[in-house]
Amino acid sequence: MINLKKAIIVLTTIILIISTYLFSKTNGLVDGVLDEFVSLHMSGDSDDNVCIEIGLILYMPYIFNIFTIKKRIYTWEYIVENLIILLQFLMLIAIEGGSVIKTIKLGNCPLLCWTISYILLFLEVNIFFIYERIKIHTKLPTNNNL
């Protein structure tokens, strides 16, 4: 039987990777102050798009959930997946001149989809793992003596 929770995580990851790819085909992030793309800057701000585009590589380990899709979420998977989410968060904090919110407001649909998928992935990984642990620990013992 397929673990539906893992299947949802894999699906969200695929959407996240596709959104990242589509974002890399756009002009990228818009400057937080001016209405111009940071890729046009001559400063270090021009590298801000990489902080999101790294997701093409970063989220690949999630795809390996397909190979264990019939099993529960293991603790090591939970830790690795949260470390990847944390690394992506640190990359987002490292954005210097670009603005994710302003870029979305100006109509960058791939970035909007990426943002929603990123938040959903965080919620799914944590809620599903905790749910599985609560479910395992609250099972009542069966009385086989009857």
pTM: 0.86
Condensed to tens digits (0 to 9), the pLDDT of residues 94-134 reads: 888 888 999 999 999 999 999 999 999 999 999 999 999 98
Q: What percent of the chain has pLDDT over 90?
A: 57
CA-CA distance, 73 to 23, in Å (whole number)? 30
Query: Which tokens in the block code for residue 8?
Result: 């949802």
Burial class (CB in 10 A: 0-12, 13-18, 19+), 62: buried
pLDDT < 70 stretches in the chain: 41-46, 139-146
CA-CA distance, 103 to 127, in Å (whole number)? 29
